[in-house]
Amino acid sequence: MLDGAEGPARQKAMDLLIRYGEALGAESFVDVANIAGVPGSSTLFLQNYYRKHGGGSFEDVFSRFDLDSDETVPFPQVGGNCCHLQGGMDPELWAEQGMSRKAFEHQQQDEAEVSRHGIQVLKTCTPYLAGNMPAFGEHCAWMESSAVVFCNSVVGGRTNTEGRESTSAAMLTGKIPDWGFHREEHRHGTHLIQVDVPVESVMDWGMLGYFIGDAVQENIPVIAGQIGQPDLIRHKHFGAAAASSGGVEMYHVVGITPEAPSLAAALGSKKPQATIHYGPAERRRVYESLNSNGRDANVDYVMLGCPHASIEQIGEAARLLAGKKIRNGSSLWMFTSRAVKSVADLNGYTKTIRDAGGLVMTDTCSAIGRMLPKGTKVVALDSAKQVHYLPAIMGIEAWFGSTEDCIQAALTGRWCGVLK
């Protein structure tokens, strides 16, 4: 491929992957056929920049940004099972999100290019809920830290946290550096987390994840102790939080996740580098840290669906909102994938939430799309990951609590969350 025999785009992609592999210290590549990225997407800034530096078309952006090429090359069909992760706006509710028609039309053009080149338009941070579920042991090249940690830990797929440029290059070459989580010896736990306080609720799993990410950074935690059986939602919130406060790309839960049938198996029969305890005091500190951006109890925005909501979560929100009205002047936006929203539509959840004054949106979230309901000063969130990012990105105050706390805040306009 590097000699250009398979075309200039694959040549540029291979050149980039070789530079990347050398930077890592990898010795070879592994074949990948399951690739999740954000190929060719561009903000107004990027389009304007490239218009002045070589051209602003999809192909220009893909060549110059995604492939880090100094020239534009024709973009061929991709190979393998490739999907596009989250995007910048809802395809129907973009005006409510404050987006211009121009930005929407540009987004539609990008999407048509993505589709035309053989990339599935999943438009979500949870591809595993929308049509791309890897198999155990399958080598993948995925972006999106919350999806990566899910792929490695819950499914036993094998991926590093790839970036936009490496996933786009992998879509053309079917190769990624054989490094890190592709290799058996790198998948064993390094730190033992002893949980000394009951962790059952989704909120508690999110807090535990946020604590562990901060405590172990990019290492691999093995969780044991007073934990209940996590379902998909709990894994989703836990992993997303751990990948935000630190760089956790894989975790083991003894007796629960597929590569941790026992503590010894999870640790690769080695001794943990450290044992870290999570008890009532740690739990209290995490809760306070997640609420350190909140001062004003008057909440004007509630954002749910980070990572993108499962159908069960939308059903729960619909039940909590059925027959009620969100306070005048407050907004509730719940984010999910198009695939899951189509089920929510069928089940009547979208209508129930809309009748209460909330909106179910797809493709994006407030942090990714940098969008808030007009005049938002204080937001309530049920996701530790979103608390980590949204106040920093948008300069607003944020409260963290359970989904119920958040929906209560939408109904009353007041934050009344407490750590139970």
Partner 1 sequence: MSTIAPAKIVLHGRKVVGGCAEGEALVTRETISGWGGIDPMTGTVIETHHELRGVSFKDKVLVFPGAKGSSGWSAAFHLARIANAAPKAMVFNVMTTKIALGAVVMRAPSVTDFDRDPLTVIETGDWVKVDGDLGIVEIIKKAI
Cα separation of the two ends of the chain: 58
Q: Is 44 in the site for partner 1 (CB under 8 A)?
A: no
Q: Report the nearest approach of partner 1 to the CB of residue 25 (Å).
A: 7
Which of 143, 220, 339, 407 binds partner 1 (CB under 8 A)? It is: 143
Among 47, 124, 145, 362, binds partner 1 (CB under 8 A): 145
Selected range binding partner 1 among 142-150, 202-210, 295-303, 339-347, rule: CB under 8 A: 142-150
The nearer residue to partner 1, 285 or 325, going by C-beta atoms, is 285
Question: Is there a contact between 88 and 123 (Cβ–Cβ < 8 Å)?
Answer: no
Using CB under 8 A, pick the residue from 47, 126, 166, 364 that binds partner 1.
166
Give the residue ranges of DSSP H helices in 246-369.
263-266, 280-290, 311-321, 338-347, 349-355, 366-369
Among 68, 138, 178, 196, binds partner 1 (CB under 8 A): 68
Q: Rule CB under 8 A: say whether 246 interacts with partner 1.
A: yes
Based on the shown chain and the rule CB under 8 A, indicate whether residue 138 belongs to the binding site for partner 1: no
E strand or H helix that includes residue 324? none
| Interface residue with partner 1, options 367, 381, 384, 410 (CB under 8 A) | 367
Interface with partner 1 (CB under 8 A), residue from 9, 13, 20, 250: 20
CB of 323 to partner 1, least distance (A): 37
The candidate with the shortest Cα–Cα distance to 402, out of 376, 383, 379, 378, is 383
Q: Which is nearer to partner 1, 316 or 397 (CB)?
A: 397
Q: Angle 280-290/202-216 helices, nearest 10 degrees?
A: 90
- Number of shown-chain residues binding partner 1 (CB under 8 A): 43
CA pair distance 263, 57, nearest whole angstrom: 52
Residue 148, SS3 per DSSP? helix
Paired tokens of 214 = 């901060």
Binding of residue 115 to partner 1 (CB under 8 A): no
Q: Report whether 38 contacts 123 (CB < 8 A).
A: no
Q: Does 73 bind partner 1 (CB under 8 A)?
A: no
CB 337 within 8 A of CB 308: yes
Contact by Cβ (8 Å): 404, 320: yes
Residue 355 within binding range of partner 1, rule CB under 8 A: no
DSSP 245-280: HS-----EETTTSTT-SSHHHHTTTSPPSEEEEE-H
375 binds partner 1 (CB under 8 A): no
295 binds partner 1 (CB under 8 A): no
Binding of residue 69 to partner 1 (CB under 8 A): no
The span of 162-170, 195-203, 271-279, 344-352 binding partner 1 (CB under 8 A) equals 162-170
Give least dist CB 45 to partner 1, A: 8
Residues in touch with partner 1 (CB under 8 A): 16, 19-20, 22-25, 38, 45-46, 49, 65, 68, 142-145, 148, 160-166, 177, 179-180, 217-218, 243-244, 246-247, 289, 292-293, 367, 388-389, 391-393
